[in-house]
Structure 1
Amino acid sequence: MPGMPTSVDLELACRSSRSRFVTVNGLALHFLEWGDPERPVLCFLHGGSAHAHWFDLVAGRFVDRFHVVSLDQRGHGESQWAFPPAYATENFVSDLVELMDAERWDRMTVVGHSMGGHNAMALASWHPDRVRALVVQRGRRPMRLHPSKDAATAAFRLRPRDTVADPALLRHLGEMAVTERETGWAYRFDPEANGARKPADAWTYVHRITAPTLLTRAELSRNLPRDQIERLRQLIPNTRVAEIAGAYHHVTLDRPREFASVLDDFLTSL
């Protein structure tokens, strides 16, 4: 597809990132980082069942101005699973605050997709002094084991499945999503992170958000209707709305360059 990122873009994104672990709330959390740690922090938060590499094709756009971080939230990617399961919004937000304290990040700009957007809004509502700016992109199964890495990668699917993402990008995400368990290959997320997740009711607290906010909506997605975007816009002061044309729910996969451009415009205007 013309204008879509290439496998070279993916390779460069992975090669330029640094992989780190920090223990917070008793869990080893993994994150990728790019750029100068002395610059302001720009933190990306993936959605449910996803991982930090969801933003590989977006992060590089901002390394000249920000210390870019993409977190594997608890129970996802290479981060540790919570046992017993603890996946309430309060748990995710506590991890973010503890991570910021451990890394001595006073404030950061937070970009969250789906579940990550929900957690980002809660952080901005409950800890407004820690969020410089907010960007929101607006979903119990037993673990399925596969006989090989290739089989697990081949079975990888987005949820919801609608997408126009480059197949090379989807293969890359599938490869980054799988790991070997004792009895086979499986995906890098705790099934309980979905089944036991206890999302807080965002409508009761989003009015507390004080950070400049960008709400992005995927044109083709059914996950965030326009009436809900309008309701959020009315509740959150200093809010802008942008629609990403030709994208389904997974905006950063379907239209990474367009999303990065919209994000760049927003951050430049602050």
Structure 2
Amino acid sequence: MADEAGGAPKAADKETYDDRPFHSDGLPPEVRAPLEAFKGAEPPSPAWFRDAIAQEPERGFVESLGSKLEVLTWGERGKPGLLFVHGNSAHADWWSFIAPFFAADYRVASMSLAGMGASDWRERYAFRDFAEDAEAVARAAGLYEGGVKPVYIGHSFGGGQVFFAAARNPENMRAAILVDTGFGGPPPEVEAERKKRMEQIRNIPTADRPSRVYPTLEAALARFRLMPPQPAGNPYIADFIARRSLKRAPLPDGSGEGWTWRFDPTMWEKLDRTGMTPQLGAAIATPMVHIYGAQSRIIERRKSGEPSFFPKGMLEIEIPDSQHHIMIDQPLALVAAIRAILATWPPTTPSA
């Protein structure tokens, strides 16, 4: 989950969206603004990363429920399918340095959920719609053409969507791999700060009051941060993600163009939560595995007594020295874990 945010508004800016990050007071610079020190320059990156992103995906759109959804694909049609789904406020390119590792053996797709990335924004969002979107993308991308149903892989909020889709429509997927996924909403202190801000301000972004526009790319990158709060384990990955989180937009004073975030900032206010929480202990027919970070906030909350909706006895794999954003903290360990899972599991079922 990413939370791209800006500085505090001045008193005269009452009609400007307050895009301060949640729970930002007192955070160290490497958490509050992990890219600020690079002053707009790309951090040094290793050869494996450069080789991975050099494998450019095919970029396109799939229509679902009247919306155009951004889709990236790698690998040949006719091979088994993998669908990657990102976290909240993120986008398909969060998987662009992970997906190429699977392209030799799989037809791989990464989607931007509605309201995020380059996908269309909607007047309302719902878990059942996200589930329908995922199937539409998987079918249009050819993920069912390999003789078996695809495996869905989702991180954080995207893992929640994969879980919901697996529970609602188990016939659509062979298995689900959840990556650091929880069901309790934002961390308690983040939710408390969100509610406090909602009581204090009424200028939530609309078509007339969009998200803040930054005058330079450097200024925008300096405001990128992760949610839940954590350092960017590998700054070159955070920088890659942040640059693809932005789009050009007119500056408020009409002096030219600047940069703003691509996601719909009002998604949480538009989200229909009806039926989004699974029943505790409910039987799930879809085979599932959960990969989590050893220092993840989600795991901390579970250990403190927050209920888990995962099926009893579900296999869970811990990634050492990683927090919530495993693809940033330990990308190669995540690749290895997914590869090992796919090599030995799940059972094969014909595609529909």
TM category (shorter chain) comes to: 0.7 to 0.9
**What do residues 131-173 of structure 1 show as CA deviations (whole Å, max 9, x unaligned)?**
1111112247642221122221222111122135211111111
TM superposition shift of 1:8: 4.0
Q: Choose 29-38 or 94-103, whichever is displaced more.
A: 94-103
**What do residues 97-148 of structure 1 show as CA deviations (whole Å, max 9, x unaligned)?**
2333444544311111111001000111111011111111224764222112
- TM-score in terms of structure 2 length: 0.68
Name the counterpart of 2:245: 177
TM superposition shift of 1:65: 1.4
C-alpha distance in 1 between matches for 2:47 and 2:118: 24
C-alpha distance in 2 between matches for 1:263 and 1:229: 26
1:251 paired to 2:290 = no
Q: How does 1:62-73 map to 2 (within 5 A)?
A: 62-73=102-113
Decide which of 114, 119, 130 is 2:172's aligned counterpart.
Answer: 130
TM superposition shift of 1:205: 7.6
Identity of aligned residues (%): 27
Q: Which runs of 5+ in 1 are unaligned?
A: none
1:193 paired to 2:267 = yes
Q: Which runs of 5+ in 2 are unaligned?
A: 1-43, 187-193, 195-203, 206-210, 252-257, 346-352
C-alpha distance in 2 between matches for 1:122 and 1:147: 40
Higher strand content, 1 or 2: 1
1:203 paired to 2:271 = no
**What do residues 207-261 of structure 1 show as CA deviations (whole Å, max 9, x unaligned)?**
342222111221111223445798445x357x21111111111111111111111
1:92 paired to 2:156 = no
Name the counterpart of 1:242: 317
Cα distance change, pair 104–65 in 1 and its aligned pair in 2 (3 A): closer
Higher helix content, 1 or 2: 1
Cα distance change, pair 133–179 in 1 and its aligned pair in 2 (3 A): same
Indicate conservation of the 8 Å contact 1:209/1:236, yes or no. no
1:6 paired to 2:45 = yes
* 1:223 partner SS: helix
Name the counterpart of 2:235: 167
- TM-score in terms of structure 1 length: 0.88
Cα distance change, pair 205–110 in 1 and its aligned pair in 2 (3 A): farther
TM superposition shift of 1:48: 0.4
TM superposition shift of 1:20: 1.5
C-alpha distance in 2 between matches for 1:201 and 1:81: 20
Larger radius of gyration: 2
Which residue identity lines up with residue 166 of structure 2 in the other structure?
A
Indicate conservation of the 8 Å contact 1:49/1:194, yes or no. no
- Report the number of matched residues: 262
Indicate conservation of the 8 Å contact 1:22/1:99, yes or no. yes
C-alpha distance in 2 between matches for 1:262 and 1:100: 23
* 1:155 partner SS: coil
C-alpha distance in 1 between matches for 2:276 and 2:324: 21
1:60 paired to 2:100 = yes
TM superposition shift of 1:267: 0.8
TM superposition shift of 1:23: 1.5
